[in-house]
């Protein structure tokens, strides 16, 4: 089809249905994602672009819950504006997917048919670190998995749990904070981003509640709404 895997950290599956999230007032169409039994098909992409596929799933196995996560960059090798990701197994019903066009930072979010993507009950909060840079973000979640697409296409990943060393505030307070300097690169790293920047895309998943916070950053998000 039209798929070449460049970099991958795979732990489970993928899915998406329709542009549930998109940058406000942006005339360009968001990425459209169609979820099939074992495939995620993303269209309305920039021809020839690289695409981040970010997925998270929670499944019940008896009395326990199992979690799985996927991070992969796929290339539109035939320049038709569409890419297909094929899973090695059926896509779990309780899963959330985000597909980001790394060239223009447009993205689409979705889930298998009938599964509702839940949103956070509280807004994310950006704050400044010791160097005065806007490089911390806090969510009301017991743990989180995050991806940050920096302007220019670099993809950076982070997982953290409340009160653990990965939680930058170090307190068990129901909030999980992550610092951009602690993110690790998924793509071949260039210069490490120093702070969250307009034009970037931040994806934060709260696995415990299966809530998704995905935003294309702008001045309002960084300097007014939810910023300390």
Read off the pLDDT of residues 126-140 as tens digits, 9 standing for 90 and up: 999 888 999 999 999
Residue 197, Cβ density class (10 Å: 0-12 exposed, 13-18 middle, ≥19 buried): middle
Among 11-20, 21-30, 145-154, 170-179, which is the least confidently predicted range? 11-20
Distance CA 6, CA 37 (A): 23
Which strands form 83-86's sheet, in the order they lie side by side? 32-35, 39-43, 83-86
Residue 14: CB atoms within 10 A of its CB come to: 31
Distance CA 7, CA 197 (A): 24
Contact 133, 226 (CB under 8 A): no
3-state SS assignment for residue 174 = coil
Exposure letters 23-61 (e unless 16+ CB within 10 A, then b): beeeeeebbbbbbeeebbbbbbbbeebbbbbbbbbbeee
Average pLDDT for 161-175? 88
pLDDT band, very low/low/confident/very high, at 220 (cuts 50, 70, 90): confident
3-state SS assignment for residue 181 = helix
Half-sphere exposure (Cβ direction) of 195: Cα atoms closer than 13 Å: 15
Span 80-104, pLDDT tens digits = 999 999 888 888 999 999 999 999 9
In terms of Cα–Cα distance, which of 17, 79, 69 is closest to 42? Answer: 17
The yes-or-no verdict on residue 78 having pLDDT over 90 is yes
DSSP state of 169: T
Contact 19, 31 (CB under 8 A): yes
pTM, two decimal places: 0.83
């Amino acid at each position: 089809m039209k798929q070449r895997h460049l970099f991958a950290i795979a732990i489970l599956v993928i899915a998406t249905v329709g542009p549930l999230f998109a940058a406000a007032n942006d005339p360009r169409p968001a990425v459209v994602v169609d979820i099939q039994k074992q495939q995620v098909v993303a269209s309305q992409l920039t021809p020839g672009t690289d695409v981040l596929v970010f997925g998270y799933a929670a499944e019940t196995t008896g009395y326990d819950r199992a979690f799985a996560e996927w991070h992969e960059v796929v290339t539109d090798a035939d320049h038709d504006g569409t890419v297909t990701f094929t899973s090695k197994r059926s896509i779990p019903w309780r899963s959330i997917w985000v597909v980001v066009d790394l060239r223009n930072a447009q993205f689409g979010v979705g889930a298998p048919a009938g599964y509702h993507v839940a949103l956070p009950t509280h807004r994310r909060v950006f704050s400044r670190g010791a160097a005065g840079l806007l490089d911390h973000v806090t969510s009301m979640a017991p743990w989180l998995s995050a991806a940050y697409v920096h302007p220019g296409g670099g993809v950076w990943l982070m997982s953290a749990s409340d009160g653990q060393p990965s939680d930058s505030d170090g307190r068990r307070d129901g909030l999980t904070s992550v610092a951009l300097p602690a993110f690790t690169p998924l793509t071949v790293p260039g210069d490490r981003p120093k702070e969250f920047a307009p034009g970037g895309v931040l994806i934060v998943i709260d696995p415990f509640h299966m809530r998704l916070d995905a935003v294309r950053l702008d001045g309002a998000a960084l300097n007014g709404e939810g910023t300390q």
